[in-house]
């Protein structure tokens, strides 16, 4: 269970659909029976890892297929996804970064 800024719980179930250890991980979000099922048909998050000298380059991407009229908000959804992925990368950098 994830929490919102206001302290409400939000279920976010993911299952791994593909992996190559140390190279990539792909997760599918289970949207059925969640608040997201009304607007999202499917959602997937991919994590790619590449050696970068003594470090590792991490690339995050997401694919979300919207449902019905929610498709009209695709531009807003892309912006929100970009912010989530940027925040996730910043969190990774804080957790394991050197500075």
Instruction: Give the chain as a 3 state SS string.
Output: CEECCCCCEECCEEEEEEEECCCEEEEEEECCCCHHHHCEEEEEEEEEEEEECCEEEEEEEEEEEECHHHHHHHHHHHHHHHHHHHHHHHHHHHHHCCC
Give the per-residue pLDDT at 28. Answer: 94
- 49-94 pLDDT, tens digit per residue, is 999 998 899 999 999 898 888 788 888 888 888 998 999 999 998 9
Give the per-residue pLDDT at 19. Answer: 95
Domain ranges of the chain: 2-96
């Amino acid at each position: 269970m994830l929490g919102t800024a206001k302290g409400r719980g939000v279920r976010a179930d993911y299952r791994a659909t593909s992996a190559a250890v140390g190279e990539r991980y792909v997760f599918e979000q289970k949207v059925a029976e969640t608040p997201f099922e009304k607007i999202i048909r499917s959602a997937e998050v991919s994590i790619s890892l590449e050696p970068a000298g003594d470090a590792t380059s991490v690339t995050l991407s997401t694919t979300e297929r919207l449902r019905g009229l929610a498709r009209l908000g695709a531009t807003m959804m892309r912006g929100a996804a970009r912010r989530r992925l940027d925040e996730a990368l910043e969190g990774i950098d804080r957790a394991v970064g050197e500075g």
